[in-house]
């Protein structure tokens, strides 16, 4: 396949870093800079081959565009929703691939209007279908494709050499769960309940990236170093498609404690072999489990973290990820 030219605007910078890097021999990407987001968020480098442009110029000969969405796009007054609608109009002369980073779960927005969760889900799916139309839609888990009712699952791929586990893990519990928006989707209440139980009953204070004072990082190296030292990574998300931050933790050798029922868990992981699974409604029991790992099973947790890294390297790498995207581009173009 001859090298293609693609254009996109900033959304999920770690995801885009891997997409651009995995396809560097096949696609030259330009990134529009005058959108509602900058290249920031969880610290991640800008890919070397990336070119930033001020706007879309149809005379530059682009072969396709990528537009990112999530379930909040269905609310038209949101800034990011306005940007997406504008982009779809601007790119009307190009094949557009939509990357849907979310799932149709946003009940708190619709409960205000008296909608039950299942009714809200149907409203979001219908609105997304109207927005996406016949454009191909990529999702980040098989469960997300099932929930939306359509979509091509392409699971993220990452460069394992960027994440460096420390041989001596610190006695701590960390998370990088997103700190804002869609509380039910991210299951933040349960994260807070477990964190409070750990602190009150055992004295362990969970470190939360971008929330805890000591976990705000000036660059990617600081973030990677922090993850590389961590013993336990807690993930309470259930409705999020294949959490990329969790894979960063696995590649960093963390022992991941994950709430049961998350997307594609049974497809890629095995409990007590490369992940620890806990119930979704028992915060004290979860805190007991984590404290027991720290106090009585440190060596076991370290070994599981090593197996988690091996598993992530085998399943979430650039070879698999890049091939999936190339196959899709061949079909679309």
First to last CA, the chain: 11
| Rg of the chain, C-alpha, whole Å | 20
Instruction: Indicate whether 49 pLDDT > 90.
Output: no
Structure tokens at 270: 């095995």
Determine the pLDDT at residue 202: 97
Between 179 and 254, residue with greater pLDDT = 254
Name the least confident of 44-58, 67-81, 229-243, 244-258.
44-58
Q: What is the per-residue pLDDT across 294-332, written as a single tens digit (0 to 9) for each?
A: 999 999 999 999 999 999 999 999 999 999 999 999 999
Instruction: Indicate whether 214 pLDDT > 60.
Output: yes
Type and span of the H or E element at 266: helix 265-268
Determine the pLDDT at residue 34: 61
Give the separation between CA 193 and CA 198, rounded to whole angstroms: 9
4-157+317-332 and 160-315 agree in CATH topology: yes
Question: How much is the pTM?
Answer: 0.95
Q: What is the per-residue pLDDT across 151-170, written as a single tens digit (0 to 9) for each?
A: 999 999 999 999 999 989 99
Domain spans in the chain, listed from the N-terminal domain onward: 4-157+317-332, 160-315
Instruction: Indicate whether 179 pLDDT > 90.
Output: no
Instruction: Judge contact between 298 and 212, C-beta under 8 A.
Output: no
Instruction: Judge contact between 105 and 184, C-beta under 8 A.
Output: yes
Determine the pLDDT at residue 169: 95
In the three-class reduction of DSSP (H, G, I as helix; E, B as strand; rest coil), residue 101 is classed as coil
Determine the pLDDT at residue 181: 81
Once rounded to an integer, what is the mean pLDDT over residues 2-20? 91
Fold of 4-157+317-332: Rossmann fold (3.40.50)
DSSP 8-class letter at 93: T
List Cβ neighbours of 302 (8 Å cut-off, separation of 6 or more). Answer: 169, 231, 253, 255
Q: Tokens 């477990």 identify what position?
A: 194
Once rounded to an integer, what is the mean pLDDT over residues 68-95? 92
| Architecture field, domain 160-315 | 3-Layer(aba) Sandwich (3.40)
List Cβ neighbours of 46 (8 Å cut-off, separation of 6 or more). Answer: 17, 39
Determine the pLDDT at residue 37: 61
List Cβ neighbours of 198 (8 Å cut-off, separation of 6 or more). Answer: 173, 204, 205, 206, 287, 290, 291
């Amino acid at each position: 396949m001859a090298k293609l030219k693609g254009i996109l605007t900033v959304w999920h910078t770690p995801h885009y870093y891997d997409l651009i890097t995995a396809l560097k021999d096949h696609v030259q990407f330009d990134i529009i800079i005058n959108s509602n987001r900058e290249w920031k968020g969880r610290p991640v480098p800008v890919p070397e081959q990336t070119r930033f442009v001020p706007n879309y110029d149809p005379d530059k000969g682009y072969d396709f565009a990528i537009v990112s969405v999530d379930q909040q796009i269905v609310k038209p007054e949101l800034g990011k929703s306005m940007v997406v609608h504008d982009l779809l109009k601007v790119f009307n002369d190009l094949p557009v691939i939509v990357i849907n980073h979310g799932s149709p779960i946003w009940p708190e927005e619709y409960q205000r209007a008296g909608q039950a969760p299942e009714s809200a889900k149907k409203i979001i799916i219908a609105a997304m279908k109207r927005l996406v139309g016949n454009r191909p839609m990529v999702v980040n888990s098989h469960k997300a494709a099932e929930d939306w009712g359509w979509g091509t699952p392409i699971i993220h791929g990452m460069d394992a050499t960027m994440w460096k586990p420390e041989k001596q893990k610190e006695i701590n519990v960390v998370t990088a769960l997103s700190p804002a928006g869609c509380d039910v989707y991210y299951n933040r209440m349960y994260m807070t309940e477990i964190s409070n139980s750990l602190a009150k009953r055992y004295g362990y204070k969970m470190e939360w990236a971008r929330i805890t004072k000591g976990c705000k990082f000036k660059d990617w190296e600081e973030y990677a170093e922090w993850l590389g030292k961590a013993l336990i990574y807690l993930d309470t998300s259930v409705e999020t498609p294949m959490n990329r931050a969790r894979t960063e933790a696995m590649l960093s050798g963390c022992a991941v404690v994950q709430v049961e029922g998350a997307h594609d868990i049974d497809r890629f992981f095995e409990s007590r072999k490369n992940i620890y699974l806990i119930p979704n409604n028992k915060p004290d029991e979860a805190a007991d489990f984590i404290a027991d790992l720290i106090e009585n099973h440190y060596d076991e947790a370290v070994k599981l973290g090593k197996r988690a890294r091996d598993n992530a390297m085998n399943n979430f790498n650039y070879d698999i990820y890049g091939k999936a995207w190339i196959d899709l581009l061949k079909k679309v173009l």
